[in-house]
Structure 1
Amino acid sequence: MNKIFDPNNPIIKLCISGMELEESGNSEDAITMFHKAWHEASDDYERFIASYHIARIQKSVTDKLKWMETSLQCALKINDDNVKSAYPTLYLHIAKCYEKLGDSENAKRNYELSNSAKAAPADEGPFYHGTKADVYGKIKVQNFAKEKCRVLH
């Protein structure tokens, strides 16, 4: 399967609209838009994108963890190199949630998974186009995860 980021995909459009609302300070309407994307998603790829954005905007660490894990599970079902570029970021966010919840064992495991996931994307996929997830770059994600693993040992 080869998933290519399509800015004309209706779910991607909803997520982009949600990000625009979020950037303008309208968090409540943004979360509504992301949930609309989730409910209208027709496959794991669309659910992966929508759930990631729902996770990002959560105030509760528990809710953020739930949605990040949902996004990861959807991504893992896709088995596509373009989607695999998101694994380091997803594992990193999950690790940070576990760390905030005081679960150092799961935090360490997810930091290690982030570190071992492919650091450089095969393409610029959905975590390059239309999202902020790649702002700091996959190399920084990998280095951060390595440092966290070292600290948690």
Structure 2
Amino acid sequence: MQEQLMISDETLTRINQGVQLHHQQGQREAARDLFAQIWDEIGGERGDPLHVCVLAHSMADVQDDVHQELVWDERALAAADLLTDDRVAQAGVPMSVAGLYPSLHLNLAECYRKLGDLDRARECLQRAQAGIGALGDDEYGKLIKGGLDRLVEQLAASERAVRSFRSVSG
């Protein structure tokens, strides 16, 4: 989501700078510090839902602990539920609110997979897949769809491992 944000909104521009620190410069800790500073400035979860959503979504990516990653991903999803297409368009974000959900649910599914909660991971994956119609056939849409395909494969491998373990131990 963040890679597409070529926007005049100062807060989103700063969040994008943190994303660049992380993804292009490999400065995960610096990105996390910048995100924490912005989080305080916007008033945390009480801030503008668009800022909260994008910032929490980005902050999740720089967490070292999957439990913290999940907390941030849940914050992003909760904020998305408060967004309107008008607010997103006003900020110059090139997609509808519906286009945010596949990525948000994908990230939640990945957290649950890492935590070994395969049922919840599948639920989130299904929600993400249900929303892919809101994605375009652009680079962002392909990125999310590719992530969904990888997660399907990872969940299948995890389920095979669980079945194998049960057959050996049971």
TM range, normalised to the smaller chain?
0.7 to 0.9
Deviates more, 1:18-27 or 1:90-99: 18-27
- Equivalent residue, structure 1, for 2:70: 65
> How far is the alpha carbon of 1:77 from its aligned partner?
1.4
CA 1:145/1:113 → structure 2, altered by over 3 Å: closer, same or farther?
A: farther
CA 1:119/1:137 → structure 2, altered by over 3 Å: closer, same or farther?
A: farther
Structure with a larger share of its residues in helix = 2
> How far is the alpha carbon of 1:72 from its aligned partner?
0.8
CA distance in 2, matches of 1:95, 1:89: 10
Q: Which structure has the greater CA radius of gyration?
A: 2
CA contact (8 A) 2:69 2:111 kept: yes
Structure 2, unmatched stretches of 5+, are: 86-94, 160-170
> How far is the alpha carbon of 1:149 from its aligned partner?
7.2
CA distance in 2, matches of 1:54, 1:121: 23
Identical positions, percent = 24
CA distance in 2, matches of 1:70, 1:32: 18
TM alignment of 1:2-151, pairs within 5 A: 7-22=7-22, 23-41=24-42, 42-80=47-85, 82-121=96-135, 134=140, 136-144=142-150
CA distance in 2, matches of 1:16, 1:98: 26
TM-score (norm. length: structure 1): 0.76
> How far is the alpha carbon of 1:24 from its aligned partner?
2.0
TM-score (norm. length: structure 2): 0.69
CA contact (8 A) 2:113 2:155 kept: no
Structure 1, unmatched stretches of 5+, are: 129-133
